[in-house]
Chain A
């Protein structure tokens, strides 16, 4: 059964919370890693890799730096989660 956007968002937020220990209640789609959460590039990469791992997707290297907000992350997951289905 396909995952809904909300389910994806929820899983992404949990991943972020486990790495940053920031309360996920404080997140929304516009939350930016660097500006709003003030986390460094290593933590951002850890989040991206963990999200890839949790969803079993592979994001091309040249798209990684475009992932700046939680919304970007959710969109990227959607794009690659169903890429094969399409």
Chain B
């Protein structure tokens, strides 16, 4: 009999708060983490805003490894993992390390390492790049650093499926637990602010000049961000046995591939991921209480996503609140869907849903209930978390309230 899987801990590192409680409060009050980019010089760009995590002190979370050597995404992931374990009231020393695993999603890995390499190459100083480049750059180090810092010895994978990576990592952790290959999983996503990512999206004309306004008629694009979100997932029986606080149950997921275009989404792929998620979870669209949208704020994504939701939900689409926290956090890339999954769990637990802020003028093509501007009290029984990535990687995750 396959175990049911529940969320018992949440850790978040975001531009509007580090730690679940502060983050959740900020979200509900519509706080925005977007401001002028500080981590590199944007004067030769035509856009200048991002959602960076300010005042992050890696040393507060990393003790075994060294913050002078490991990259920012690894530090974020370790911080989120520690926070999640603390939130779950767990101490690694109490657990069988071989039966604990780590799955982390990412888009860019540790971009500062390759950026440093490129800076050196361009200025003819390549020999200033030492052994640390290969040691700390490849993206698998993120999950490896979390496990190394916390002395975890089970399944260890980094899943770099770009902007949907968090959902992919959580989905895989779900499968590992259901197959009985672990007793506990730390699953989520992490990305640090990246010059390369910023340059690319700026070049595509995808970055908004001021704010992120998902679903608004005048939306001008996405805003790159950074951060990490990690969930503690474990079998329901074990959570009950140790009297853990249970946020929600993960009941299923759907993954699909557009097989269409590297950067432009296809509505069928997004719809297919939702259909698969609903079907596996044995949930009807009408039973979904809340959707956490991918909602990047680009003209195309929001329109295509809306049409995909209508395709799957039909009339029920108009009765299902759907909000985008990217309006507040910007797009934290691989971390985004992990943070959004955490938000779904929190929404279920607290009976409130976050708003889509900056929604001033409705778009006739985006006519659903996006929870405009104000958080709302809502009995959330079932939540769906959607994420879509470059390469046509689509992922929908389903969470449900655990019966008392």
Contacts and interface: CB of A to CB of B under 8 A. Distances in A.
Contact of B264 (A42, A49, A61, A64): A42
Nearest to A42: B263
A49 B205 CA distance: 12
A42 B261 contact: yes
Nearest to B204: A45
A42 B203 CA distance: 11
A61 B205 contact: yes
B29 interface: no
B128 to A, nearest CB: 28
Interface in A38-86: 40-42, 45, 49, 61, 64
B46 interface: yes
Contacts of A40: 261, 264
Nearest to A64: B205
Contacts of A64: 205
A42 B262 CA distance: 9
Chain A contact residues (Cβ within 8 angstroms of B): what range?
Answer: under 10
Interface string B289-310: 0000000000000000000000
A19 B205 CA distance: 20
A40 B300 CA distance: 15
A51 to B, nearest CB: 14
Contacts of B204: 45
B361 to A, nearest CB: 20
A61 B262 CA distance: 22
B47 to A, nearest CB: 10
B203 A61 contact: no
Interface in B83-127: none
B264 A41 contact: yes
A41 B46 CA distance: 20
Contacts of A45: 203-205
Contacts of B264: 40-42
Nearest to B47: A61
Nearest to B202: A61
Contacts of B261: 40, 42
A40 B204 CA distance: 13
A49 B264 CA distance: 18
A49 B204 CA distance: 10
Interface string B259-296: 00111100000000000000000000000000000000
A61 B263 CA distance: 19
A46 to B, nearest CB: 10
Given A40-B264, A42-B262, A42-B264, A49 B203 contact: yes
Contacts of A42: 261-264
Given A40-B264, A45-B204, 12 more contacts: A40-B261, A41-B264, A42-B261, A42-B262, A42-B263, A42-B264, A45-B203, A45-B205, A49-B203, A61-B46, A61-B205, A64-B205
8 contacts: A40-B261, A40-B264, A42-B261, A42-B262, A49-B203, A61-B46, A61-B205, A64-B205
**Top 8 A-B pairs, shortest CB-CB distance:** A42-B263, A61-B205, A40-B261, A61-B46, A41-B264, A49-B203, A42-B262, A45-B204
